[in-house]
Amino acid sequence: MRYRTSVREPSLTQLQPVIDNSDPLNIYEGNPNLIPEYTHNVFLNYNYFDNFSFKSFFAFINASYTVNNIVTEKFVDENFVNTSRPRNVDNRYNMNGTVSYGAPFRPLKINTRIRTNAGIGRDITFINLSENFVYRYNQGVTLSLDNRSKDVVDANVNFTYSYNQNRYSTNTELNNNFNQYGINGSVNVNLGKGFNLNTDYRYDRFAQASFGEDNVLNIWNANISKLLMNNKLQVSLNVFDLLNQNRGIDRIARDNVVSETISNALERYFMLSVQYNLSGFKSGGPTPPMGPGRGPMMMRG
């Protein structure tokens, strides 16, 4: 168990009583009467592992409570001019918890793990001088499986599901909920004679809920590598996004805004990489993770 407190002081911009009207439709005014936020945090965690049965248990709770929380008060007039001003409010809280249990399933020679998490929180916003409490709830569960004998094949798969709710005390028309579920996994195969094959796949479905339609994300990567020069040199051919469907999907619900952003991303490409390790690679070891900006420094062509 750990307990910690912290203070966050208002910024100079928040304190200065100067009106910023550089954008006539979005005006910002500071508040010299602001006082610092004061937050209490409590952390609880428990770990257990049995060396004989290989069973494990993990539990974690994090709770926070903030006094004099600095929020942005918004007012929209009849000309749709949005005026923002910071102010202090009390009684903001958040609590999150996670429980995980893992154990081998010997008849199928696999390891299993189930992880569940939940969270609750309350924020306070002011819209047109009206105090609005925002209650947030989230739940999720993940089931993970992987094989126990990894001499030739190392495989794992994860099934995930999450559900989010947002409830407003005043602006109830902003109430929303949305869920996401998916599957991801990877397989690494030692083909012998220094050859190694690796592939990974990720599927995510974002249910429509408060949004227009379901969005699906399919990402499939693969690579094959060969060790040379007494396992000191590794040559790899990588393929990123075989299905050519990569894109960015981001959903946000906060204050009086519910938004979904879909953005273009780097799609399918091929990469030939050459890596030299002074101490040598482990024969049959996995190739470093693929993707933009990931993996060690390498020569590309």
Please write the tens of the pLDDT for every residue from 22-80.
999 999 999 999 999 999 999 999 999 999 999 999 999 999 999 999 998 988 888 88
pLDDT exceeds cutoff 90 at 184:
yes
Which comes out higher in pLDDT, residue 129 or 18?
Answer: 18
Nearest to 124 by CA among 91, 96, 94: 91
pLDDT exceeds cutoff 90 at 258:
no
H helices of the chain, in order, are: 12-15
Sequence letter at residue 4:
R
Give the lowest-confidence range in 196-200, 229-233, 259-263: 259-263
pLDDT tens-place string over residues 204-227: 887 766 666 677 888 999 999 999
Local confidence band at 173 (pLDDT 50, 70, 90 cut-offs)? confident
Q: What does the pLDDT average to over 232-256?
A: 83
For position 284, what pLDDT does the model report? 56
pLDDT exceeds cutoff 90 at 177:
no
Local confidence band at 127 (pLDDT 50, 70, 90 cut-offs)? confident
pLDDT exceeds cutoff 70 at 292:
no
185, burial (CB in 10 Å: exposed 0-12, middle 13-18, buried 19+): middle
Q: Which residues contact 165 (CB under 8 A, 6 or more apart)?
A: 135, 136, 137, 138, 176, 177
pLDDT exceeds cutoff 50 at 145:
yes
pLDDT tens-place string over residues 259-275: 777 788 888 999 999 99
Q: What does the pLDDT average to over 241-261?
A: 75
220, β-bridge pairs: 201
In the chain the beta strands, taken as DSSP E runs, fall at 2-8, 19-23, 26-29, 37-49, 56-67, 69-76, 82-89, 92-105, 110-127, 130-147, 153-168, 176-192, 195-206, 215-228, 233-240, 247-254, 257-264, 269-276, 299-300
Give the lowest-confidence range in 150-159, 168-177, 230-239: 168-177
Mean pLDDT of the chain: 87
For position 299, what pLDDT does the model report? 31
pLDDT exceeds cutoff 50 at 140:
yes
pLDDT tens-place string over residues 14-23: 999 889 989 9
